[in-house]
Amino acid sequence: MSELVTVTVPLADRSYRVIVGHGARTKLADMIPEGVRRVAVVSQSGMPFTLETGRETVQIEIGHGEHHKTVSTMETLCREFAAHGLTRNDLVIGFGGGMVTDVAGFAAASYHRGTAVMHVSTTLLGMVDAAIGGKTGVNIPEGKNLVGAFWQPSGVICDLDALETLPEREVRCGHGEMAKYHFLTGEDLSALPLTERVARCVEIKSEVVASDERESGRRALLNYGHTLAHALEIATDHAMAHGEAVAVGLVFAAHLAEVMNRIDTARVEDHIRVVEGDYALSAAIPEGLADELLLELMGRDKKAIEGLTFVLDGPQGIEVVPQVPAASVLAALRQMRASQSPGTPRTTVGS
């Protein structure tokens, strides 16, 4: 086994360890809290390896895709937990990508009003983002992740062996979030070896979460690049995956900051270089999407309490900026499209 790195998420008496590296799953049994007799492993078909918990274990499979991330799946899970005699001193393990860890975490948060959960993350996006920080939840027709709870895990395993079977597109999604961490810290993460790079992303997210667990302020910075990203996901009916949309959203946030005289052109070019160069992601807005549609969708963003709200770079670093004028947003969209040569690779959507 190559080197494992341990990162602690510092949350006082709820602090927990995240173990990152090839073969990290071998540490699972030792990380299980004392007193746990039964374990329910929530997962999907096609996982790259199996888990050894050293306890009486039941495996529960859920379906693939966002349309299975529902209250109904959560109810099914809780009924399975009950059928297998899981007590509130036992453990749920979310074993999969962000979809699995979100729904397993929410079921654990609710079962017996709170049962311990651990995550074994198997996607890059899950490792650097979804499995860390205690946000759990499911979708309802009125909105994504609209129902959920803050419920911190007791431990997280990021076994990099899982990435060997991960489809290329899922890898790109993880890279979109990694590029975001690059801008939040100014560190060139792409230069680090994989174990250190994932561990550093976990550390950055942990530090932000620890400073603002329930997102009353600073945690919102983790939404850098996400306002346009969410609009693109909806406008393309999810033809664009989340991380792909974040890549475009990061470059857009830079153009908007420049239009608002918060940063200079060199800093915009920095964003393009990191997203397109270091992470080999497309930063092009897909063709066929009207600026007015994107503007309207951005106005519906969860952060938009006081008019259009963005997370933007500026002289004081990256911060939440409310009341952004619609004219600036439209100007930034035009500037971004104009700067993208016709030959830029992009997803074509609509007519």
Ligand X SMILES: NC(=O)c1ccc[n+]([C@@H]2O[C@H](COP(=O)([O-])OP(=O)(O)OC[C@H]3O[C@@H](n4cnc5c(N)ncnc54)[C@H](O)[C@@H]3O)[C@@H](O)[C@H]2O)c1
Residue 133, interface with ligand X (CB under 6 A)? yes
177 is an active site residue: yes
Name which position in 33, 46, 288, 325 contacts ligand X (CB under 6 A): 46
Q: CB of 119 within 8 A of CB of 153?
A: yes
Q: Which of 25, 38, 69, 200 binds ligand X (CB under 6 A)?
A: 69
* Cβ neighbours, 10 Å, residue 199: 23
Give the angle 273-276-278 at the CA atoms, nearest 5°.
Answer: 70
Of these, 129, 215, 244, 276, which contacts ligand X (CB under 6 A)?
129
Question: Which residues partner with 329 through β-bridges?
Answer: none
DSSP string covering 34-97: TT--EEEEEE-TT-SS----SSEEEEEE--SSGGG-SHHHHHHHHHHHHHTT--TTSEEEEEES
Q: Is 123 in the site for ligand X (CB under 6 A)?
A: yes
Element (H, E) at 230: helix 226-235
Catalytic residue among 170, 215, 244, 258: 215
Tell me the C-alpha distance between 137 and 151, whole Å: 10
Report, in angstroms and rounded to the nearest whole number, the Rg of the chain calculated over CA atoms. Answer: 20
Query: What is the smallest separation between the CB atom of 27 and ligand X, expressed in angstroms?
Result: 18
Identify which of residues 42 and 294 has a Cβ nearer to ligand X in the complex: 42
Residue 266 CB, nearest approach to ligand X (Å): 30
Active site residue 242: yes
Q: What is the per-residue burial (b if ≥16 Cβ within 10 Å, else e) of 145-161?
A: beebeebbbbbbbbbbe
Tell which one of 91, 100, 157, 298 touches ligand X (CB under 6 A).
Answer: 100
**List 11, 22, 27, 44, residue binding ligand X (CB under 6 A):** 44
Six-digit token string for 175: 């890279």
Q: With binding defined as CB under 6 A, does residue 96 bind ligand X?
A: yes
Site string for ligand X, 197-226 (x = CB under 6 A): ------------------------------
Residue 54 interacts with ligand X (CB under 6 A): yes or no: no
Using CB under 6 A as the criterion, what x/- string covers residues 153-172 for binding ligand X? Answer: ---------x--xx---x--
* 126 lies in the binding site for ligand X (CB under 6 A): yes
Q: What is the DSSP string of 236-278?
A: TTTSS-HHHHHHHHHHHHHHHHHHTTSS-HHHHHHHHIIIIII
How far apart (Å, rounded) are the C-alpha atoms in residues 218 and 29?
Answer: 34
Please identify, using beta-carbon distances, which residue of 235 and 241 lies nearer to ligand X: 241
Catalytic-residue membership of 187? no
H/E run at residue 95? strand 91-96
CB of 15 to ligand X, least distance (A): 18
- Is residue 37 part of the annotated active site? The answer reads no
223 has catalytic annotation: yes
Interface residues toward ligand X, by CB under 6 A: 44, 46, 48, 64, 66, 69, 96-100, 102, 122-123, 125-126, 129-130, 133, 135, 145, 162, 165-166, 170, 173
Q: Which residues are catalytic?
A: 113, 135, 177, 205, 215, 219, 223, 226, 230, 242
